[in-house]
Structure 1
Amino acid sequence: MPHTVTGRFDDGSAYQVQVTGDADRPVVGSARAAALIELHTGESVPLNPLGPLRTVAGDDAETVLALLRRYTDVLENH
Structure 2
Amino acid sequence: MLVTGTLEDGSAYQVRIPGQGGSPVTGSRRVRALVEQYAGTPVLLDPLGPRRSLDPADTAAVLTLLRHKTQVVEVR
Q: How does 1:20-31 map to 2 (within 5 A)?
A: 20-31=18-29
**1:56 and 1:42 mapped to 2: Cα distance?**
5
When normalised by structure 1's length, the TM-score is 0.92
Matched residue type, 1:71: K
Which one has a larger percent strand, Structure 1 or Structure 2? 1
Structure 1: runs of 5+ lacking an equivalent: none
* Corresponding residue number in structure 1 for 2:45: 47
Aligned length: 76
* Corresponding residue number in structure 1 for 2:4: 6
> CA RMSD for the aligned pairs?
0.8
**What SS does the corresponding residue of 1:33 show, helix, strand or coil?**
helix
Q: Which moved more, 1:56-65 or 1:43-52?
A: 43-52
**What SS does the corresponding residue of 1:58 show, helix, strand or coil?**
coil
CA contact (8 A) 1:23 1:57 kept: no
Distance apart, 1:9 and its partner CA = 0.6
Structure 2: runs of 5+ lacking an equivalent: none
Distance apart, 1:49 and its partner CA = 2.2
**What SS does the corresponding residue of 2:52 show, helix, strand or coil?**
strand
Q: Deviations over 1:23-68 (max 9, x none)?
A: 2111000000000000000000011222211110011101010110
